[in-house]
Amino acid sequence: MLRVLFLRNINVTLRFYSQRVYKQIGDHRVRTFRTPRPIFKIAALLFLMLGIHPFLAAEIKAQIRMMPLGNSITEGTGSSHDGGYRHDLFYLLQNAGINFNFVGSRQYGSGFADTDHEGHPGFLADQLAVTTYLTQNPADIVFLEIGTNDISSGETASEVYADIEKIIDDIYNQNHATAIYLSTVIPRKDSNALQATTAALNATLPGLVSAKAGAGYKIYFADNAARFLADPNWKTNLMADNLHPNDAGYTLMANEWFNVYLANSPPNGVLFADDFNSGVLDPNKWLRGSNAGNLSAVVGNVLELKSSGSVSGWVVTRQSYPARNTTAAMKVAQPNDDGNLGVSPTYNLASSNGIYGEANWYRFYTYRNGGSGPYRLYVAWKKSGAEDGIDVTGSLVINTAVYLRLRYDNTNIHFEASLDGGNWTDTYNEIFDLPGSTLDSPFYYELAAYKTSAKGTLVVDDFSIKALPGGTDTPPPLSAYPKTC
């Protein structure tokens, strides 16, 4: 709902006989082909039939094998779907278009397609048979979180540190190319003394990562404990019992793993993409507001945001994403008199008007006064419950389609618009300032249209969230942003 305030004016696998050649690219061992000439001609014809240029075939990405490794927290004890962080991490990776495969000798969890892992309930660090696991299921990446049971058994922080270091060495010795993502140990609430030991151990882990990285290991630090402790009510909000996270806690873990992975092994810059060509609203990517009268749906390969009565038609991303050095963009194929792209750290699925009722958000609107003439642009925000905004149309003349983009650098949020998806106008920017959040906090994206029976349906296409090339805090070349995802 816009209240204008003028206070401040193919995934296809082709297998054909050839000589396989492997090369190392970053963290990934990529298979290419040295193909005999006659076979190449056949392959080239097949690629062309599928709409793939034969000389681009070598760019098809190899599958990345990821091993979740640890104890019952890795297995997922305390989560409603029994998948722990693996459940949400699966969808974050899938929605980013990453070709991955969870690997391990154990399977547990529901609601997601790949439940393989090496989470062993009750295990201490020195009980993990890392060499055996990796021999049976080689991995390009290992997500390691371990230490809770060690501390429960009375081990000191230095003793657990030594065991974790041995695990890291075993992974490295098995395959120097394996990337290791080491997490701090999740905080516990059963004992102040044991939590003090946990905190003492966690304080040493950044140094361990730095030392091993200096020795040539591919190792990265994921501070899951800090994410928990950042919530003053973490014991009730994020924990299922004394030792294990609940669904909300596991979601935080998934986001931390995902963010650290992308920061250090970026696959293609795309964190999320939907062209709405599946015919239905993808439940793995979006949640539709449960408010009565929300009629939003995918129709004819576009998303129609519409409603009945005085409510909004709206959807929100299923997962949350950090903002720093990213963009969130969409094509508004048909603007309406009150529709928006919004971002907020929170949402209430039962809300009649999307994130409008939340305490903190930004929104980028298309609107018209009186329902005629060119469409206009408006930036609004709510900070600690106080709403404000400004018209930012400037010299843009919007009669039909328009592209909207939120771009974040290291300090600011930019509200950008384009008439062709290639040439962008920075209509407004300010220092990012949502109380209680930073640019590294997780945010949900909302697409919404208010009271469409009077203000018209908002039609959206090609929504994406992307990491800026190279993590730069300046706009990349326009060629970095294709018009469609």
Q: How much is the average pLDDT of 90-101?
A: 91
pLDDT of 231 higher than 60: yes
First-to-last alpha carbon distance for the chain, in angstroms, is: 28
User: 106 and 116 in contact (C-beta within 8 Å)?
Assistant: yes
pLDDT of amino acid 434: 97
Question: Are residue 448 and residue 305 in the same domain, yes or no?
Answer: yes
Q: According to the model, what pLDDT value does residue 44 have?
A: 40
Query: What is the number of domains present in the chain?
Result: 3
**Domain membership flag for residue 158:** yes
Residue 25 has pLDDT above 80, yes or no: no
173: its two tokens: 């010795």
- Phi/psi-derived region of residue 122, left when phi > 0, alpha when psi is between -120 and 50, beta in every other case: left
Q: Is residue 402 part of a domain?
A: yes
Closest by alpha carbon to 298, among 436, 176, 459, 437?
Answer: 459
Place 177 in a pLDDT band, splitting at 50, 70 and 90.
confident
What pLDDT is recorded for position 1? 58
Q: Which of 35, 57, 79 delimits the end of a domain?
A: 57
Has residue 485 been placed in a domain?
no
pLDDT at 268: 63
End of a domain among 36, 57, 78? Answer: 57
262 within 8 A of 244, measured Cβ to Cβ = no
Asked if 38 and 163 sit in the same domain, the reply is no
458 assigned to some structural domain: yes
Q: Which pLDDT value is given to residue 266?
A: 56
In angstroms, the CA 236 to CA 96 distance is 31
Residue 4 inside a domain? The answer is no
73 and 147 co-located in one domain = yes
**What is d(CA 260, CA 125) in angstroms, rounded to the nearest whole number?**
23
CA distance 180 to 221: 9
Q: How does the average pLDDT of the chain come out, rounded?
A: 85
Nearest to 452 by CA among 297, 291, 306, 298: 306
- pLDDT confidence bin for 150, thresholds 50/70/90: very high
Q: Is residue 365 part of a domain?
A: yes
Are residues 461 and 427 part of one domain? yes
Q: What is the pLDDT of residue 322?
A: 86
Q: What mean pLDDT comes out for the span 331-356?
A: 97
Out of 245, 264, 283, pick the residue that ends a domain: 264
Task: Compute the average pLDDT of residues 52-60.
Answer: 38
Instruction: Kindly state whether residues 251 and 278 are assigned to the same domain.
Output: no
| Residue 95 domain-assigned (yes or no) | yes
Residue 362 lies in a domain: yes
Residue 153, pLDDT score: 97
- Kindly state the average pLDDT of the residues 256-267: 80
Pair 226, 288 in one domain: no
Regarding whether 133 and 173 lie in a shared domain, the answer is yes
Tell me, yes or no, whether 248 and 289 share the same domain: no
Residue-number span of the structural domain to which 29 is assigned = 25-57
Tokens of 430: 């300010």
Full-prediction pTM beyond 0.85?
no
CA–CA distance, 227 with 256 (Å, rounded to integer): 8
Which pairs from 96-99 meet CB under 8 Å and 24+ separation?
A: 96/258, 96/262, 96/267, 96/270, 96/271, 96/272, 96/273, 97/267, 97/268, 97/270, 97/273, 98/64, 98/267, 98/268, 99/11, 99/61, 99/62, 99/63, 99/64
Q: Are residues 424 and 445 in the same domain?
A: yes
For the record, the structure tokens of 305 come out as: 């945001």
Q: Which of 390, 415, 398, 253 is nearest to 330 (CA)?
A: 415
Which residue reads 């019992």 in tokens? Answer: 241
Secondary structure tally for the chain: helices H, strands E: 11, 25
Residue corresponding to tokens 């209509």: 427
Q: Which residues pair with 106 in a beta bridge?
A: 117
Residues 227 and 296 in one domain: no
One domain for residues 414 and 338: yes
Q: What percent of the chain has pLDDT over 70?
A: 83
**Please, what is the Cα angle at 463 between 345 and 308, to 5 degrees?**
75
CA dihedral 87, 241, 118, 159 (to 10 degrees): 140
- Report how far residue 325's alpha carbon sits from residue 480's, in angstroms, rounded to the nearest whole number: 14
Q: What is the CATH number of the domain that holds 460?
A: 2.60.120.200
Sign of CA dihedral 186, 187, 193, 198: positive
The per-residue pLDDT for 57 is: 35
Do the Cβ atoms of 370 and 381 come closer than 8 Å? Answer: no
Q: Answer yes or no: do 74 and 217 share one domain.
A: yes
